[in-house]
Structure 1
Amino acid sequence: MITERIALVMLDGEVPKDANDPHHTRQFYTSIQAFANVSLRLCEEGKFKKLEQFLAVAFKLFKEGNATVKNAVVNVYLFTLSRSLDQQPGARKWIEPFMPAELRLEYARLHYASGM
């Protein structure tokens, strides 16, 4: 199971010793937001092959992560990436084939939940 500490290493984050954040949750959420912002920039620049690698990391975190890690992938990473998918129809055509089915399902839940 991937914990916040392991996920930080996967996202190339440093793992400092912080008595106030023993599970590294706060730092993990900051790192996943930065990871999402880079993914968004890749999408906007049309670098979909590199984005595919980022989606693979996000999927691995989602598939093997604990509840906090999964929550961050859905509510931070996919939410940030959905901005580009919703605003650029061409981006959706390029990104969705690379997005694993489980992440596509979570994206659909995130996207359609706002309409309720």
Structure 2
Amino acid sequence: MKSIIPLLALWQSVPSQSEKKKEIISQSDRENIYTLIQELADQTKVFALSYHFKDVRRCFMVAEDLLQHSDIQIRSAVSNVYLYSLSTLLDENNSLSSVLRSLLLPQLRKEYYRQLQASLP
């Protein structure tokens, strides 16, 4: 299985809205994008549960950038895989969840609250 960490490092080293970012994504196996996003979510959880909030913030920045500057398939993966995976941590009523919710960047926060609204009766 491909590791997400080298891809994240490469992704963060390239300025936003760059053609290079599109090239990075096209080089990644499109069928594995959901796997890569799940690995990003898993790594974010590890950082969160270890109280490494700077690293959580970095992961959120990558997810935010993917939501803002990627095609519909990748945005869908971030929304459906990444945020859904993190919802177990975000939905709790404790200090860790409060910190994580406060670290969410605007687009991630908007998508998270959209999902919350959709789940209400």
Q: What TM bracket, shorter-length normalisation?
A: 0.7 to 0.9
TM-score, normalised by the number of residues in structure 1: 0.76
Counterpart check, 1:6 vs 2:24: yes
Q: CA RMSD in A?
A: 2.0
The correspondence of residues 87-98 of structure 1 with structure 2, limited to 5 A, is 87=92, 89-98=94-103
Q: Percent identity?
A: 27
Counterpart check, 1:73 vs 2:91: no
Structure 1 letter corresponding to 2:55? K
- Specify whether residues 88 and 49 from structure 1 end up closer, same or farther in structure 2 by C-alpha distance, changes over 3 A only: farther
* Aligned match for 2:43, one of 12, 26, 38: 38
TM-score, normalised by the number of residues in structure 2: 0.74
Gapped regions of structure 2 (runs ≥ 5): 1-16
- Specify whether residues 49 and 83 from structure 1 end up closer, same or farther in structure 2 by C-alpha distance, changes over 3 A only: same
Higher helix share: 2
Ranges of 4+ aligned residues in structure 1 off by more than 4 Å? none
The correspondence of residues 94-113 of structure 1 with structure 2, limited to 5 A, is 94-113=99-118
CA contact 1:8–1:28 (8 Å) conserved in 2: no
Higher relative contact order (CA 8 A, sep 6+): 1
- Specify whether residues 49 and 65 from structure 1 end up closer, same or farther in structure 2 by C-alpha distance, changes over 3 A only: same
The alignment of Structure 1 onto Structure 2 pairs a total of residues equal to 102
Gapped regions of structure 1 (runs ≥ 5): 10-14, 16-23
Counterpart check, 1:55 vs 2:60: yes
Q: Deviations over 1:16-75 (max 9, x none)?
A: xxxxxxxx3221111111110111121122111110001001111110000001001111
- Specify whether residues 89 and 72 from structure 1 end up closer, same or farther in structure 2 by C-alpha distance, changes over 3 A only: same
